[in-house]
Copies of this chain bind each other. A is one copy, B any other.
Amino acid sequence: MGLIESPFLQACAGQIPSRTPVWILRQAGRYLPEYRAVRSKFPDFLAFLRTPEAAAEVTCQPPRLIGVDAAILFSDILTVLPPLGFDLAFKEGEGPRLSNPLRSGDGRTLERFDPVMELGYVMEAVRHCRAALPTDIPLIGFAGAPWTVACYAVDGGGGKEFSKTRAWMHSDPVGFGKILDVLADVTADHLAAQAEAGCQALQIFESWGGIVAPSDYRRVILPAVERLLARLRERTRVPVIFYCNGASTLMGVLDGLDADVWAIDWRMSLSVARTHVGPKPLQGNFDPCLLHAPEETIRKAVQLAHAQAAGGPWIANLGHGIMPDAPVSGLKALVDAVHALPPVVAEVWE
């Protein structure tokens, strides 16, 4: 598959895409009846996640059913935790829970592992997807950023404050930074293995980047992100998307990162993001709740975002995961409105 066939990969490469590409955070998800039909066959979420055929099936649904320009592997940012010794469970309606969170001073160490051995089901799902997807639909692999994974590893799930993780960061930034370094190495291994197995792009999710002060992020967290990106660049050439939820806080800290695409949430306009990244590719950033609005409102929001993203490639997406109650009709209206946009004129970028 050449770049020329994928508007998404063209945009990732900093080229003018043949049409504006769009995909959706959490697009293989509960809002889709076809997803729920597959999900219902499994007793729990982890069993579902660890069955490559099922993961591949739901991964391939959104390009076929909604018309998005890329598939993202159905998986979870916490898959790396069990091989690191954490006892992970997903309680219905509660999200992830760890029975043995890591705590400051508990003396535990985290050890790098071989993702091909320990996360074989992820690589198997990638191969299934690649075999099943049309050649013009790229597959995106992903992982959580070190800080975001640490939030679960330390707080253990439940709530969105992650106050134990933040308290550790404040009280022992050096010791906490060492935990982040291990997570950076583990994550680089995991992402490189996904690319090796067949993913054509990789997204790093800094889903909880926005809960710390910019100065703390820069001092304690950013070095681990830079380490992750450097390790990853040594191992693979596929484009890397860095997604930050809370980007309005951190954009000034993040915009020097060695990423190919910056993906942002909806609390910052694409035009402000553009002032940070210049002509580099941007991804995002509709409010997921916009999908409840009338089609005409959605169409206008798409046109406004298109104008605000001017100055470089734009990959349309939501600014956060699509919600279980999102109407499929609203999502289709958004995807159709993106595809109906006029082609970008090269001169606008100069």
Q: Taking A267-B210, A325-B163 as contacts, is the C-beta distance between A170 and B249 under 8 angstroms?
A: no
Task: Indicate how many identical chains form the complex.
Answer: 2
Cα of A323 to Cα of B269 in the assembled complex, Å: 32
A171 with B292: CB separation less than 8 A:
yes
Q: Which secondary structure dominates where chain A touches chain B?
A: helix
A246 with B269: CB separation less than 8 A:
no
Taking the complex as formed, is A294 at the interface, i.e. its CB lies under 8 A from any CB of chain B? yes
A61 CB to closest chain B CB, in angstroms? 23
Which of A170, A266, A287, A297: most chain B Cβ within 10 A? A170
Bin chain A's interface residue count: 20 to 34
Q: Which residues of A from 276 to 318 have beta carbons under 8 Å from B?
A: 287-290, 292-294, 297
Q: Which of A72-80, A136-144, A212-220 contacts B (4 or more CB under 8 A)?
A: A212-220
Taking the complex as formed, is A248 at the interface, i.e. its CB lies under 8 A from any CB of chain B? yes
Q: Which residue of B lies closest to A301 (CB)?
A: B170
Taking the complex as formed, is A230 at the interface, i.e. its CB lies under 8 A from any CB of chain B? no
A170 with B293: CB separation less than 8 A:
yes
Taking the complex as formed, is A341 at the interface, i.e. its CB lies under 8 A from any CB of chain B? no
B297 with A171: CB separation less than 8 A:
yes
Q: List B contacts of A169 (CB < 8 A).
A: 289
A287 with B166: CB separation less than 8 A:
yes
Taking the complex as formed, is A167 at the interface, i.e. its CB lies under 8 A from any CB of chain B? yes
Q: List B contacts of A160 (CB < 8 A).
A: 160
Q: Which residue of B lies closest to A266 (CB)?
A: B213
Q: Which residue of B lies closest to A319 (CB)?
A: B213
Q: List B contacts of A249 (CB < 8 A).
A: 248-249, 267-268
Given A167-B292, A170-B287, A213-B268, output 12 extra A-B contacts at Cβ < 8 Å.
A161-B323, A163-B288, A163-B323, A166-B287, A166-B289, A167-B293, A170-B289, A171-B293, A214-B269, A216-B287, A248-B248, A249-B249
Interchain residue pairs with CB less than 8 A apart (7):
A170-B289, A171-B292, A171-B293, A210-B267, A212-B267, A246-B267, A249-B249
